[in-house]
Every structure is written in C-alpha cells, then in structure tokens.
C-alpha cells in the first residue's frame, strides 16, 4: 500500500458532523452509549442517499438481482448452522492493572496500551447480542440480534428462487441493521455495536465463482469512485488464508485511507456453497438448484460483496471535505456527489421584503415537490452561501429584486462558485439536469446563451 496520510483529521469531521446535524452520540444527554450513534437531519438524508445509490446499482439497474428484507431476529438454529454461535468469537484480553478489555488481534505488543500493565491470556468472547423471545428468560427462548444480514438471504434462497423463477447466476440483496457486541469500538462511526449493512449474495454455478469474484471486486471498487471517493484513497487487500472467515474460500477487502489509517470499507468474499449446504443439512430442506441446460442438480456457490452504510458515510464525508480560499477567508466545503448531497438546492431571497419572499417561496414550493431543498433568508448572502457549502449543497438559487421584473434567478454552483442567470420557468428542469450530471444547460426558449460569471466580490 502507498504511504499516505488522509486529507482530513477525524476531529474536523466529527465536529462538522455534530455542529451541522449529521451524527450525534447516542443517548448523549445521559453521557452517551458507547458504540452507538444517532443520525441527525442531514445525516439521515446522506445515509438514505448512499443506500439509494447502492440499491439502484445493485437492484434497480440490474435484471439479475432482486431485493429482500428479512427480520433482525431469526431462529436460533440459523446461527448454529451458519457457524456463528461457535465461531463468531473474538479473543478478549483484560489488563490486570486497569481492567480495560481489548481485542487481542488489535494489540501490537503484549502489554496494556493504556497503562502498560500485564494482560490476561485471551478468552474467546462471542460478539452476538443475546435476547429472549416471549416473557420467559430461559435458555430455550434465547435468540440473537443478527450480526450480518446475509443469513436472511440464505434461508430465503428457495423462497426467492420459487417465487421469481430466476436462473443462475442471480443475486439477492438486502439492507438493514446488524449488531455486534464489539470488544472495542471507536474511530467515530467506523466500528459500532449497532450499524447498518448492505449485502448481496450472488449465486453462481460452481466453477464460475472465481470469475464472478473478480467481477464484483471491480464493480464495487468502481461504485465508490463514481460517488466521489478518491482513487488514491482506495486500495485492495487480500485476506491471507489463515485469516479467512470460517465460511470463506477467498476474501478481498476494499480498503480506504480513513483519518485513523487504512482500514476495511467493504469485504468481497467467496463463501462457496458453505451456507446453503449448512442450512440444508440443519433444516432438512433441500437448498439446491436444478440447471435446465445441463439437467443437473447442484448447490450454487456464493460471491458476497458486503459493506456497511456507516463506513462509506464516513469515507464520503472525508473525501468531500475541503478548506478552500474564498476572497480573504477560507470556506469549508463538502464536495458531495450531487446524488449523495443531503440538500440539493437552497433558495435564497436577497431580502425579506414581502413581494420578494412571496416570489421566492413559490419557487421553493415548486422545487420541494421534487427535490430536497431548503429556504434560507437569514443573514448576509455570503454567510448563507458558506452555510450551504459546509453541508455540501450543490446549488444555491438567489432571488433578487430584478427577478420580480425579468422573472430570472441566479444559480450559484458550489464547486466553481460560478453563477448563471436563467428564467424561473427553466429552473426545475435545469437543476434536475445538472444534478443528474448533465454538462449542457437546457436552453431557454429563444436559444439565449446564459451568462457564466464568477461570484462577484
Ligand atoms: N456477511 C459478511 C460480513 O458481515 P464483515 O466484513 O464482517 O462481513 C461487512 O462486514 C461490512 O460491514 C464491513 O466491511 C463494514 O463495512 C461493515 N461492518 C462490519 N462490522 C462493523 C462494525 N462493527 N461497525 C460498522 N460497520 C461494520
């Protein structure tokens, strides 16, 4: 891997996230709950946009993948068959002096990183959260909060196959919460105890799995670049054989240069036929595939691209973040991809005068029916631009007194700070086209060429 440092310290992202309403500590007024986070008004928009971009790429734009949503609580036998009850364990060590607990794999030396005290020998600790179904808290009623969404798709393999009549290769995709009682959490939302995953199980004919594996590594890598991660902040890391998960034949992590260093963003695993065979054996229900072409029954292999939502959210925030000179000052700007930006446009009337407000409000209402937009008429226009830059709003629409006469407004672009003046009648069409990445402006009736100028001093 290349020797580099991240472009932004974590404190700046954490501070912006809290200040502008992206991410708050969970239960903050009670001192917080470690490893849990709340998403504020802008954070939830960003999160939903990331999930939608993934869903579009993985389900809506494809003919060979279908979506599903399965329950968080599943029969206990699922986790016994999948091997999680026995093997989803981390080696836990405790400092004999300060009693802090650590995941042994995360430690460099053999002493406590906090006080240099002696450590106990590792004990295996299962990271699945336990709870009970029904009112009686006895061992017969124990269930687990799922530690991955994947098993919901394996146990529904036959339901999906029968109801959709899909042919191999095909995939089942799902987004949803997962829970792991991580020994150590940290680095902001990077490692949490409650987090969201976006996973896809791609079922293929055995023997074609290697090819599909490479395809999915490349496809997922390209997705991150498409939505704004910098190529030089992304890399691939192959798991050595001895570190592979119990179900995997091969695993490649897509890694990202987070502020705390290079770390896994997404994992692509070749899970072979392990899960389907385990569930077949344990449930007694045959989970195989009849190949019409070759007239044979076999258990498909599975290639799984598995990613959280929270880690990409942090990565997209880091690579969007910039501090740029602006006149005599510095502006903080989030260069989010337009599809991910929480707010698509802000309507900014230059005065609060009644006639101008009414005109600007009509524009706002018209846009709001289609786009996530904000209306802001407080403080100077310069400050309002800064506020929108800091949350990554791609376009500001300024409405001035001239607008009342000529029925035109100014669009100011976040990244270039260029301004163009266009007829209000063309605004919605133009913004939509620009948000979808079209280079050309929609020409107004009459073919007039719009003026492009730098933001005036
Ligand atoms: N089904 C396979 C699986 O769950 P994983 O590598 O353990 O594989 C997949 O998890 C992805 O889920 C990770 O690449 C990461 O993005 C996210 N993830 C896993 N544990 C997480 C945690 N404790 N906090 C936040 N995200 C997590």
pLDDT in tens, 219-263: 999 999 999 999 999 999 999 998 898 889 999 999 999 999 999
* pLDDT of residue 436 exceeding 60: yes
Each residue's pLDDT tens digit, 95-147? 999 998 888 888 888 899 899 999 999 998 899 999 999 999 998 999 999 99
Q: Is 387 in the pocket of ligand 1 (CB under 6 A)?
A: no
Cα 199 to averaged position of ligand 1 atoms, centre (Å): 10
Which two structure tokens, joined as six digits, stand for 438? 């079209």
Q: How far is the C-alpha of 372 from the C-alpha of 41, rounded, in Å?
A: 12
* pLDDT of residue 452 exceeding 90: no
Q: How far is the C-alpha of 347 from the C-alpha of 397, rounded, in Å?
A: 5
Q: Is 197 in the pocket of ligand 1 (CB under 6 A)?
A: yes
Residue listed under structure tokens 């986790």: 79
pLDDT given at position 457: 40
Using the Cα atoms of residue 391, residue 393, residue 394 and residue 400 in order, give the sign of their dihedral: negative
175 band by pLDDT with thresholds 50, 70 and 90: very high
Please state whether the predicted TM-score (pTM) of the whole model is above 0.85: yes
Residue listed under structure tokens 């700070």: 417
Q: How far is the C-alpha of 153 from the C-alpha of 201, rounded, in Å?
A: 7
Q: How far is the C-alpha of 179 from the C-alpha of 192, rounded, in Å?
A: 8
Q: How far is the C-alpha of 35 from the C-alpha of 186, rounded, in Å?
A: 7
Distances (CA, A) of 292 to 56, 156, 201, 289: 30, 21, 22, 9
Cα 275 to averaged position of ligand 1 atoms, centre (Å): 18
- Among 182, 216, 306, residue to substitute to test ligand 1 (most atoms within 8 Å of Cβ): 306
Atom of ligand 1 nearest to the CA of 185: 23
> Please, how many CA atoms are within 13 Å of residue 36, restricted to the half-sphere of its CB?
12
């Amino acid at each position: 891997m290349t020797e580099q440092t991240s472009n932004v310290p974590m404190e700046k992202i954490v501070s912006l996230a809290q200040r502008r309403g992206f991410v708050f500590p969970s239960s903050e007024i009670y001192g917080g709950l470690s490893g849990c986070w709340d998403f504020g008004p802008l954070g939830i928009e960003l999160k939903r946009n990331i999930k939608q971009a993934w869903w579009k790429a993985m389900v809506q734009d494809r003919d060979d993948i279908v979506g599903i949503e399965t329950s968080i609580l599943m029969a206990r036998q699922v986790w016994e068959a999948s091997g999680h009850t026995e093997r989803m364990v981390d080696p836990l060590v405790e400092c004999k002096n300060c009693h802090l607990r650590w995941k042994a794999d995360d430690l460099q030396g053999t002493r406590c990183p906090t006080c240099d005290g002696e450590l106990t020998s590792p004990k295996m600790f299962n990271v699945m959260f336990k709870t009970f179904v029904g009112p009686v808290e006895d061992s017969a009623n124990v269930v687990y909060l799922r530690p991955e969404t994947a098993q919901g798709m394996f146990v529904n393999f036959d339901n999906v196959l029968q109801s959709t009549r899909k042919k191999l290769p095909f995939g089942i995709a799902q987004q949803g919460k997962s829970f792991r009682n991580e020994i150590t959490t940290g680095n902001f939302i990077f490692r949490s105890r409650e987090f969201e995953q976006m996973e896809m199980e791609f079922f293929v004919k055995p023997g074609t799995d290697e090819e599909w594996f490479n395809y999915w590594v490349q496809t997922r890598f390209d997705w991150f670049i498409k939505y704004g991660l910098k190529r030089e902040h992304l890399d691939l890391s192959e798991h050595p054989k001895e570190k592979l998960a119990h179900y995997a034949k091969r695993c490649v992590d897509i890694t990202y240069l987070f502020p705390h260093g290079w770390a896994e963003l997404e994992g692509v695993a070749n899970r072979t036929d392990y899960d389907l065979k385990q569930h077949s054996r344990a449930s007694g229900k045959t989970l195989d595939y009849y190949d019409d072409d070759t007239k044979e029954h076999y258990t498909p292999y599975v290639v799984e691209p598995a990613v959280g939502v929270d880690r990409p959210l942090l990565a997209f925030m880091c690579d969007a973040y910039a501090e740029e000179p602006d006149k005599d000052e510095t502006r903080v700007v989030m260069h989010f991809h337009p599809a991910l930006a929480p707010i698509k446009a802000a309507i900014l009337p230059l005065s609060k005068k009644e006639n101008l407000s009414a005109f600007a409000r009509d524009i706002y209402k018209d846009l709001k029916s289609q786009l996530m937009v904000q209306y802001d008429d407080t403080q100077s226009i310069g400050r309002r631009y800064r506020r929108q830059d800091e949350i990554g709003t791609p376009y500001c629409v300024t409405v001035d007194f001239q607008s009342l006469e000529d029925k035109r407004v100014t669009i100011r672009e976040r990244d270039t700070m260029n301004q163009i003046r266009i007829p209000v009648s063309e605004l919605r069409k133009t913004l939509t086209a620009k948000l979808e990445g079209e280079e050309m402006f929609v020409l107004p009736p009459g073919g007039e060429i719009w003026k492009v100028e730098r933001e005036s001093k």
